[in-house]
Chains A and B, each alone.
Chain A
Amino acid sequence: MWKWFHQLASPPHFYRISAILAPWLAIPGTILIAYGAWQGLFVVPMDYQQGDAFRIIYVHVPSAYLSMMAYMIMATSGAIGLIWRIKLAHAVGAAAAPIGAGFTFLALCTGSIWGKPMWGTWWEWGDPRMMSELILLFLYFGYMALRSSIDDTTKADKASAVLALVGIVNVVIVHFSVEWWSSLHQGQTVFKKGTMDADMRIPLFIMLIGFTMVFGSMLLRRIRTEVLYRERRTRWVREMILSPEGGV
């Protein structure tokens, strides 16, 4: 088991394994999303309070969940990279950040589209979840900006890992301070989450699993590109490119 784990940290080995793994995540994930979307949009009955507008949760909830998951992955891989000096871990962080920022943006957009019929406004400054998500987006921007402004890859890896770790400690404080703040300023515009009916919940679970799998395959593909770029001067990359298969 440990041998397998150690092998995974070696870039050529990872490159080979991930080529096999990525389609196994992408194809079932896409099928699950297609099925979940069909269920959520056409089969599930209308909500008696929110009408058809609630159907956006089938995109909103998975993207909000992945926006936080990607940050966790970024910070964890940063810690692994700093502590055990595994280069591949830093490549994971570099690959996860833009995907995470994308999902955060998607969560904010779908949230505000949902907010329009529910609250009558595109943007509600008083909602703590929207504020936390917005600050998360800024944290992603900071991480990517720091990474792109340091030319030396090793240095950029370590510096951004430190930033991601400082950020993860702060995310919790941001969350609670925003919650406290909105409890001072906000009445009851944030609707209470009721319990969901089972036939509404099952498509959501399917969407969550499908989104996670597609996210995994996107992450793997980005890490592969990152690995290839970082290892561009090594022998295994050169041999692979020159081999008859042409580096697949």
Chain B
Amino acid sequence: MNENHTIEAQRENPGIFSGLAATTKRDLLLAWKRPGDVLNPLFFFAMVCTLFPLAVGPSAEQLEFSGPGVLWVAALLATLLSLNSLFISDFEDGSLDQFLVSPQPLPVLVLGKTLAHWLTSGLPLVFVSPILAITYRMPLSVVGVMMLTLALGTISLSLLGSIGAALTVGLHRGTALLSLLILPLAMPIMILGANAVSLAASNDIYSTGIWALGAYAIASLSLAPYATAAALRISNE
């Protein structure tokens, strides 16, 4: 009897994490069914990294010197590319309206979607980047630092980008607009990440960048979902 009662209560009032888990799971499943959405930004990332030596020449010192910067710029652009579709399909098929009227807090649902976005865009980038870093003659000890900065930085990029994606959802000129809105805001992340890797490559103290990236990730983890939720409500009025 008593047990039944608690089950009933749970069914009526599921916790915050059930909403978070459900959204994340749903978006991961969608990504699994449409692998192109995950792979295309990765190919784009690899291609930007290929363009650079073709443009400035393949000399070893040059590649070693510019490797961290090129990889970071390419990662930033690839993340932007994938952010564009963050809310589009939900907006078109009406799931977004369901999110808005759901009794679950909207920032938590948004966080679930952003988490899924990071798992399908940021994390794959982190694991693909060593291959490209090695072609740029990056020493293995530096590759580890680069993966760490990319992991921390892409968390912030996904969260920051979700604000921009929410503001531009349903607009005709969304793609170019999203880049215009997000790039100036994302500059600090790239500055911190790329320079920490450069410092590590020249055997300097690089911890400042790592700590700052971590702080940025924590701050955006706690603030960005609220801004995204507010932006989604505005976009769907």
Contacts and interface: CB of A to CB of B under 8 A. Distances in A.
Contact of A155 (B184, B185, B212, B235): B235
Nearest to B227: A166
B231 A138 contact: no
A166 B163 contact: yes
Contacts of B227: 162, 165-166
A177 B211 CA distance: 12
Contacts, number: 78
A138 B180 CA distance: 8
A174 B237 contact: no
B192 interface: yes
A100 to B, nearest CB: 14
A174 B185 CA distance: 8
A contact patch SS? helix
B183 A138 contact: yes
A145 B188 contact: no
B232 to A, nearest CB: 10
B181 A181 contact: no
Contacts of B234: 155, 158-159, 162
Query: Interface majority SS on B: helix, strand, loop or mixed?
Result: helix
Contact of A163 (B181, B195, B198, B212): B181
Nearest to A169: B223
Interface residues of B, number: 29
Nearest to B182: A142
Interface residues of A, number: 29
Given A159-B231, A162-B227, A166-B227, A135 B184 contact: yes
Interface string A91-103: 0000000000000
Interface in B154-201: 163, 167-168, 171-173, 177, 180-181, 183-185, 187-188, 191-192, 195, 198-199
Interface of A: 82, 135, 138-139, 141-142, 145-146, 149-150, 154-155, 158-159, 162-163, 165-167, 169-170, 173-174, 176-178, 180-181, 184
Given A82-B230, A177-B212, A184-B199, 17 more contacts: A135-B184, A135-B187, A138-B183, A138-B184, A146-B177, A149-B168, A149-B173, A150-B171, A155-B237, A158-B237, A162-B167, A165-B227, A166-B227, A170-B185, A177-B192, A180-B191, A184-B195
Interface of B: 163, 167-168, 171-173, 177, 180-181, 183-185, 187-188, 191-192, 195, 198-199, 208, 212, 216, 223, 227, 230-231, 234-235, 237
22 contacts: A135-B184, A142-B180, A145-B177, A149-B168, A149-B171, A150-B171, A155-B234, A158-B237, A162-B230, A162-B231, A162-B234, A163-B181, A165-B227, A166-B163, A166-B185, A166-B227, A167-B184, A173-B188, A177-B192, A178-B188, A178-B191, A184-B195
